[in-house]
Chain A
């Protein structure tokens, strides 16, 4: 790879400036200080001349983000080339350094996304551990004040949803795998993804440091009018989420265009991998709904800055709730659809059988995508009139039909197969089990007469963690084990892998299944203080939660170790027919020196032979 980039650059003319990340931080600091001072001392000074005001910190933040992106590489990679200036005098680095700079290589971008998501996962996970520690006692003991606990809840939820749930499988695995899977050397818009990934650390850190501006007690939903009456930490919630959703939006544009236009010869719609289908429908969901939630948060931001009374008692606070869930429910399908697609992607390889009823799997993900826009108000059964409940209840119940098709496809695939119980297939079975519980408990939520009891209790907390951790995180870890040889040319230790899988399964199912019980027994959400009769169950939940947290850490360390020094394996250890395994392990800048031609379905394990051939360059 090094030779590809540097061969045209004479050795002596290179100057090695500060590392891109350091330059980004310097320009971010300068951008923030200049705009912040301009706002707080010149354009909009407040009485007493505070250095930080609401408007100065918001505009300063935008300046900081622009400075960060330019400093980290957008200046040389994007701005200058746009004016026809190719500044080849700056070398952004090779080897490990390329991961700390803007990169046009979709695989580098994918790894950057995965690392950023993992960072967000463990930051938000630490917040969850603090919450569980606090909840071991029915009184305040860890946090001095409930607002701090609620801020922790908000940080946990926001970072998990916007930097992990919507990002890891789409920005991470999507960027890394999709071009390889469809036989392309690059994504459609490499510059778009090269920028967007650098918004993820911005978003995570903005949300994580939101307490600098004050507490916010709304949780990840930013409910109005509470958001207006909270302290100013909510500003960094809006801004952080803006950065993260912008990142996902840009990735989705790129992935959609890549899947539509960069497929190699023979990669027809009847042959594109299920994961590509998953990425396509998720990208469309992102493109439809992320701008909607961004506009909603802009309204919330204006409410505070101007201020405007859109969502207070004189405006309409229910409008905010509707707008939030209009995005919020498609959001959970944005999180889970890639996981459903990954089940269908990985299982045929593991069981050496063709994908069962492929067309129904595709119909399933497409109909989940379509119906997900019709179900939002089932989050609002408690604040709507009875007459409004029925249509949302109807669509919520019906969406289980296309979701169930993913189960039908996988069950049909593994039935009478040559099943290999490996770490990825074990984790996918666990994921299917957990998502099943998430889905079945959702049936109770979909029924208003039951939901009026379940809503806003720990039952709901259990339910959505079963869908999101159970569905998405377990599948994410399965995918990390599955594609480890692709990332690094090395593989995991099977015993440690099985241990890791069982470890998180016990921790997860223990913690979150008990949440159903504690919720039914009368534990409401967002409370660091609760009646003492609920303490025994809460202690049990916390212990399982700590086991789970340690289990995630164990899997992280194991995967990290395997990437660096696990046993070496051949390029295609699973004997997969999918195109991404035709490239070398840890592929170089170019996936395919010569474009492959797909000659049969990539899941045809009932016949011998390859799914794609590399044509002879001469003819």
Chain B
């Protein structure tokens, strides 16, 4: 009887939860502007789907038991082996937890890793826009070697990142102070993060890192502040100020911007 009552409540709660995942899940990332962010979002929704019934099973237990079995004076005292274990329950619990974890490891973990490996293959980077990203205390500095732009700046002299929509971008990430290349003690770890792109990559002194992104939406920092470069790894007192504006624009607008940068001598 208790079991049936619990089971019914659990199924109802789980269905409500799944409905909540369908309704709210797609907004989990708030705003996505790249295929990588969508991959992460879809992986999250997949996890939510499977975690919801597990979550409600435990939560319902924590609420149901104290209410249902409160002050049950030892009338139906379980005794002997029955009170101490329940083999089917233990077997089901352990089997389910192993299966769920193996499932999560296969998908989304391993399947996504395969996509990540693929994204770095040379044939998939053919025609990609290369952006040199240099992090220093405390500035993001962008160069476009394919277009001869060495220091992308807006008219006010602030670092700015322009990306054409629909074209694969390969960020080449380095951390060193180009103004003081002799001062190795100034180089620290930064983290290159554009929240709307759903991915961040640490920038490590002495190493070169890559991050591949496919922007999907024409947008900018002014339109949505989640489209901004933000340092995500603490890098000293200037850390909160280490951000830069991002513009994702059409191909023509991008070329126009490159021409303007050339004209400005950047």
Contacts and interface: CB of A to CB of B under 8 A. Distances in A.
Interface in A404-436: 404-405, 407-408, 411-412, 414-421, 425, 429, 432-433, 436
Interface in A315-371: 316-318, 321, 351-358, 360
B225 interface: yes
Contacts of A145: 237
Nearest to B225: A531
Given A218-B234, A453-B199, A527 B62 contact: no
B65 A521 contact: no
A529 B206 CA distance: 29
Given A225-B189, A353-B78, A417-B65, A314 B29 contact: no
Interface residues of A, number: 89
Nearest to B232: A456
Interface stretch (B43-51, B126-134, B151-159, B163-171): B43-51
Interface stretch (B7-15, B101-109, B139-147, B255-263): B101-109
B236 A217 contact: yes
Q: Count chain A CB atoms within 10 A of each CB in B51, B93, B108, B115 and give the residue with the most.
A: B93
B185 A312 contact: yes
A378 to B, nearest CB: 11
Contacts of B204: 317-318, 383
Contacts, number: 263
Interface stretch (A175-183, A270-278, A387-395): A387-395
B195 interface: yes
Given A312-B187, A449-B40, A455 B200 contact: yes
Nearest to A397: B101
Contacts of A47: none
Nearest to A146: B237
Contacts of A393: 105, 109, 113
A456 B78 contact: no
Contact of A419 (B30, B72, B79, B93): B72
Nearest to B42: A449
B84 A421 contact: no
Q: Count chain A CB atoms within 10 A of each CB in B54, B65, B193 and give the residue with the most.
A: B65
Interface in B17-57: 28-30, 37, 39-40, 43-44, 47, 51, 54-55
Interface in A444-497: 444, 446-450, 452-453, 455-457
A321 B188 CA distance: 12
A313 B43 contact: no
Contact of A421 (B39, B70, B225): B70
B244 interface: no
B86 A444 contact: no
Interface stretch (A226-234, A260-268, A545-553, A586-594): A226-234
Given A226-B234, A419-B72, A358 B185 contact: no
Nearest to A312: B184
A253 B221 CA distance: 55
Interface size class on chain B is 35 or more
Contact of A520 (B28, B70, B90): B28
B122 interface: no
Interface in B195-232: 195-196, 198-202, 204-207, 209, 225-226, 228, 230-232
A607 B78 contact: no
A408 B90 contact: yes
B234 A419 contact: no
Nearest to B111: A449
Nearest to A382: B202
A393 B73 CA distance: 47
Given A226-B188, A449-B39, A443 B47 contact: yes
Given A450-B44, A530-B240, A455 B84 contact: no
Given A229-B185, A407-B58, A433-B62, A452 B40 contact: yes
Interface string A369-388: 00000000000001100110
Q: Count chain B CB atoms within 10 A of each CB in A453, A530, A606 and give the residue with the most.
A: A453
Nearest to A428: B62
A112 B186 CA distance: 43
B235 interface: yes
A456 B191 CA distance: 9
Contacts of B234: 150, 217-219, 223, 226, 525-526
A533 B30 CA distance: 13
Q: Count chain B CB atoms within 10 A of each CB in A321, A354, A389, A449 and give the residue with the most.
A: A449
A408 B198 contact: no
A414 B78 CA distance: 12
Nearest to A229: B185
Nearest to B231: A524
A356 B86 CA distance: 8
Nearest to B62: A429
A522 B195 contact: yes
B230 A416 contact: no
Interface in B95-126: 97-98, 101, 104-105, 108-110, 112-113, 115-117, 120
A528 interface: yes
A392 B55 CA distance: 24
Contacts of B188: 225-226, 229
B265 interface: no
Contact of A411 (B29, B39, B58, B109): B58
A318 B93 CA distance: 39
Nearest to B50: A443
B72 A360 contact: no
Contacts of A351: 69
B65 A414 contact: yes
B74 A436 contact: no
Contacts of B120: 386
A242 B236 CA distance: 23
B28 A419 contact: no
A147 interface: yes
Contact of B117 (A387, A411, A528): A387
B85 interface: yes
Given A456-B200, A606-B80, A404 B206 contact: no
A215 interface: yes
B40 A313 contact: no
B16 interface: no
B78 A226 contact: no
A400 interface: yes
B29 A313 contact: no
B253 interface: no
A440 B188 CA distance: 33
Contact of A317 (B71, B189, B193, B200): B189
A25 B101 CA distance: 54
Contact of A225 (B89, B101, B185): B185
Given A226-B188, A457-B232, A404 B239 contact: no
A522 B55 contact: no
B5 interface: no
A194 B202 CA distance: 44
22 contacts: A145-B237, A313-B205, A317-B205, A382-B232, A383-B201, A386-B116, A393-B113, A397-B104, A397-B109, A404-B97, A415-B65, A416-B78, A421-B66, A440-B51, A447-B43, A449-B40, A453-B198, A455-B191, A455-B200, A456-B193, A520-B29, A526-B234
Given A226-B188, A398-B105, A443-B51, 14 more contacts: A223-B233, A317-B189, A354-B84, A382-B202, A412-B85, A414-B69, A420-B71, A421-B70, A432-B62, A440-B54, A449-B43, A450-B40, A524-B231, A524-B232
Interface of A: 145-147, 150, 215, 217-219, 223, 225-226, 228-230, 309, 312-314, 316-318, 321, 351-358, 360, 382-383, 386-387, 389-390, 393-394, 397-398, 400-401, 404-405, 407-408, 411-412, 414-421, 425, 429, 432-433, 436, 440, 443-444, 446-450, 452-453, 455-457, 520-522, 524-531, 533, 606-607
Q: Which 7 A-B pairs have the closest CB atoms?
A: A313-B205, A449-B112, A383-B202, A522-B195, A527-B240, A147-B237, A526-B234
